[in-house]
Amino acid sequence: MDDNINNQDSIGILTEENFIAGIICDGCTGTHAELKRSSSNNEVGAKLIAYLSMKILKKILSENVLSSESVISEFTKRIIDSVNSIVNLFCEDEKEKELFIADFLTTTVIGFFVNQNKYVIFHSGDGIIVLNGDIDFLTDDSGSYFVSSLLESNKNKIVKMSVEDGETNEQEIRGKEKYETGQKFKVFAEGETDKLTSLFLATDGFYDFIDNYTELFLNFINIPDRLKLEGFNPHFVREFRKKIVWNKKIKEHIELKNLFKDDASFIFLKRMKDDNA
């Protein structure tokens, strides 16, 4: 087949008594010169890494690690070790590793965890984050994958980021991207849970749609009547498809502009309104 038609997105959601966590992954194509541009098997990595991420986050958060930086640092170490163990099962030299990672394990990652006191949003690679109605397209991180750090050629690289005042500081980044652990995961935002009203995480398949229908999208996700059901709400996805994606006028426009030409997956977290407040 000329086109890559396999769904390469994967989602992991974990709801525990004292925290909620979620991961959304997008397996990538065009990751190596020796691989066909429009085809890869990176849905394998997306599913494996979403699964591993949930197991690792559950264990770390159950250990009551308080610092968000410590959580991300420990998460990075454990996910790298886990993925590296998989790679070593199949590969004997650096060339094999390079092709195996490019073909099976290259995926973007956007994740979050929230407990009663704090929330943290982190990522490796591109996608979309809509925090309290503010939309961020992570296009600057396109082509950045944490699994690249498994290769010997990348292990000694230090990525420096320019901060707002023009200076470079490897330990603290001002602005929304507060810090990064090596070149692997960046913390996009963190804050007090009572300041978190809504969070929408999506793969880059939503780029064109949200860019073209920003106001409609924000209005839809902010209507309280759609969010009366506490916990997982299967009706929300159905309503989203029915009133947005399958709306006759919008559908014609989508087909005309060839929107959703890529896999499009999302996680949506919304604070419930307290009717007794």
Reference 270, options 20, 50, 17; nearest CA is: 20
pLDDT at 107: 93
Residues 215 and 125: their CA atoms lie apart, in Å, by 26
Instruction: State pLDDT tens for residues 7-63.
Output: 889 999 999 988 999 999 998 876 666 666 666 788 999 999 999 999 999 999 988
Evaluate whether 145 touches 28 at the Cβ level (below 8 Å). yes
Residue 155, token pair as written in the block: 């292990």
Query: Cβ-count burial of 52 within 10 angstroms (0-12 exposed, 13-18 middle, 19+ buried)?
Result: middle
Q: Which pLDDT score is estimated for 170?
A: 35
Domains and CATH numbers, the chain: 9-225+262-270 (3.60.40)
Residues 6+ apart with CB under 8 A from 275: none
Which two three-digit tokens encode residue 40? 């890869």
Q: Could you give the C-alpha distances from 114 to 25, 71, 191, in angstroms and in order?
A: 19, 12, 10
Mean of pLDDT over the chain: 79
C-alpha span between 255 and 225 (Å, rounded): 29
Residue 178 has pLDDT above 50, yes or no: no
Tokens for 174?
Answer: 């001002």
266 vs 135: CA distance, rounded Å: 14
d(CA 60, CA 66): 10
Tokens at 159, concatenated: 């990525």
**pLDDT tens-digit series, residues 125-173:** 999 999 999 999 998 887 788 888 887 655 544 333 333 333 333 333 3
Q: Which range, 98-102, 106-110, 234-238, 270-274, is most confident?
A: 106-110
- How sure is the predictor about 243, in pLDDT bands with cuts at 50, 70 and 90? confident
pLDDT band of residue 4 (cuts 50, 70, 90) is low
**What integer pLDDT is reported at residue 120 of this predicted model?**
95
Strand order in the sheet with 198-202: 134-137, 128-131, 198-202, 266-270
Q: What is the pLDDT of residue 5?
A: 64
Please report which confidence band the pLDDT of residue 257 belongs to, taking 50, 70 and 90 as the band edges.
Answer: low
Residue corresponding to tokens 């769904």? 7
Between the ranges 27-31, 64-68, 84-88, 243-247, where is the mean pLDDT highest? 84-88
Sign of CA pseudo-dihedral 77, 79, 85, 87: negative
Residue 237's CB: how many other CB atoms inside 10 A? 11
Higher-confidence position of 230 and 94: 94
- Rounded-to-integer distance, Cα 139 and Cα 142, Å: 5
DSSP 211-270: HHSHHHHHHHHT-GGGG-S-S--HHHHHHHIIIIIT-HHHHHHHHHHT---S---EEEEE
Task: Check: CB of residue 128 under 8 Å from CB of residue 138.
Answer: yes
One DSSP character per residue, 195-222 reads G--EEEEE-GGGHHHHHHSHHHHHHHHT
